[in-house]
A and B are shown apart, each in its own frame.
Chain A
Amino acid sequence: MNFLQFMMMNRQQVLDLTLEHITLAGVATLLAALVGIPLGILITRVPQLSKPVLGGANIIQTIPSLALFGFLLPAPWIGARGGRLAILALALYGLLPLIRNTYAGIQGVDPAIVEAGRAMGLTDRQLLLQVELPLASGVIVAGVRIAAVLSIGLATIAAAIGAGGLGEFIFRGLAMVNNQVILAGAIPAALLALLVDFLLGRLERRLGTLRLKT
């Protein structure tokens, strides 16, 4: 039985696990964005916080993923379901690129433009929403892209804690010493990562030209 035959025979399961995988990585990236972007904005406003916040996110990133899953297992509510735990862990990993890119994107806006806005009488909020965030959006989307691709890759490991996703095939294949089963998980996960990378890359370039319109 070759790889394609295996995929066809198990197409329902491949589809289910792919959707599960997308949910894990998608929800995790969304959570990371919901926390990371505001944190990135915050540290442009309160510069004293930038070191601890970026440092904290950096430390999280250095924890090996399996170890992070393990650390979170005893946590109440979160540890009760593999999916919840995996999403939280993946979101934590996504924080650093999102905080860092939001911060760098806003800091990178031409100071003359920001000052012109301030001098025209824009409030801090107007300056942020109408000038800084739109001009930083390309860099912020680049952060989303890194976080999303990272999550898709790391989500395969989440199967080790029973979170499902395409990692199930990989771990099953490893146990069975069956390459086709491993590939049934690895190839769709890789294609998914490439697709997301491509789509967000296009969005990033489109938004990036906003800044070049000077």
Chain B
Amino acid sequence: MTASPSRVSDTVKSAIEFDHASFDISGRPLLHDLVLSVKQGETLVLLGRSGSGKTTTLKLINRLLLPTAGEVRVNQKPTAEWDPIRLRRSIGYVIQDGGLFPHFNVERNIALVPRIEKWPQPQIDARVRELLITVGLSEDLLSRYPSQLSGGQRQRVGVARALAADPPILILDEAFGALDPITRSEMQKEFRALQQRMKKTVIFVTHDLREGLLLADRIALMEEGKLVVDLPAHEFSRSGDPLVRAYVEAFSALPDPNQIDREVSR
């Protein structure tokens, strides 16, 4: 079962559309015939194993890659027709561990896009402070370098940097993947609260079903470069698709140590 664009209601415009988009490298398909659209203000979680084509899908949105067949449209305009610099500055991008510049302090990292967009300095300063509050960081950190931050702080700076120029679209690639489980859970909850306020169009890549169910309006499951299912988050766990079942089972419960056979304990 695959999604068709007709599923998307006509009242809200779609921000991103994959129209039979494929991408292959020297004949090897990384993404095959993807049909998927994301409405404005919607949070779509791309779920899948490593190598399933999730990151390739993201890179097609901000034109780090161009599809080798088909088309990807952002705000109804094919990415091939966008000025790549303008396109990317309208899309916030967060990667694992933040992807911060190690030689920039927190202030310069967050202010990166406003600065290259030549905002006046007072406006940049005000925006940086506003963002610190948004992501829950103290102003004391502004002059620190990424190496002097904890993983969670780096990730928050990464989110602040992506939001800096208030882009309508946000893409996150395993954004919380490098965090310990407790920090990760905190970040997920805060991100959800943030998203409910901001109503940005979000595409969130993860291999963690729990994270997907928590954040998503809709979950698209990918496998070997193909879309397997595309379902509203509340219907996802009930799907009969075998791959969905495998996912749900893998995440279903914590193991009970008493139930596990251990050679050593005997």
Contacts and interface: CB of A to CB of B under 8 A. Distances in A.
Given A112-B95, A213-B145, A214-B147, A120 B102 contact: no
Interface in A169-214: 210-214
B102 A119 contact: no
A82 interface: no
B84 to A, nearest CB: 8
B116 A113 contact: no
A211 B103 CA distance: 7
A126 B88 CA distance: 14
Contacts of A130: 101
B103 A120 contact: no
Interface residues of B, number: 23
B89 to A, nearest CB: 4
Contacts of B64: 115, 118-119
A141 interface: no
Nearest to B94: A116
Contacts of B85: 121, 123
A113 B102 contact: yes
Contacts of A122: 112, 116
Q: Give the secondary structure class of B's interface.
A: helix
A214 B178 CA distance: 14
Contacts of B148: 213
Contact of B101 (A113, A115, A119): A113
Contacts of B52: none
A121 B102 contact: no
Nearest to A112: B99
B113 interface: yes
Contacts of A113: 99-102
Contacts of B43: none
Given A119-B62, A121-B116, A212 B95 contact: no
B48 interface: no
Contact of A126 (B87, B116, B145): B116
B89 A213 contact: no
Q: Give the residue among B86, B87, B147 with the most A Cβ atoms within 10 A.
A: B147
Contacts of B102: 113, 135, 210-214
B161 interface: yes
Contact of B146 (A119, A126, A131, A214): A214
Interface string B20-46: 000000000000000000000000000
Interface in B116-152: 116, 145-148
Interface string B67-111: 000000000000000000111110101010001111100000000
A134 interface: yes
A131 B101 contact: yes
Contacts of B89: 120-121
Interface string A123-150: 1001000110011000000000000000
Interface of A: 112-113, 115-123, 126, 130-131, 134-135, 210-214
30 contacts: A112-B95, A113-B99, A113-B100, A113-B102, A116-B95, A116-B99, A117-B101, A118-B88, A119-B88, A119-B93, A120-B93, A120-B112, A120-B113, A121-B85, A121-B86, A122-B112, A123-B85, A126-B116, A134-B103, A135-B102, A210-B103, A211-B102, A211-B103, A212-B102, A212-B147, A213-B102, A213-B103, A213-B145, A213-B148, A214-B147
Interface of B: 62, 64, 85-89, 91, 93, 95, 99-103, 112-113, 116, 145-148, 161
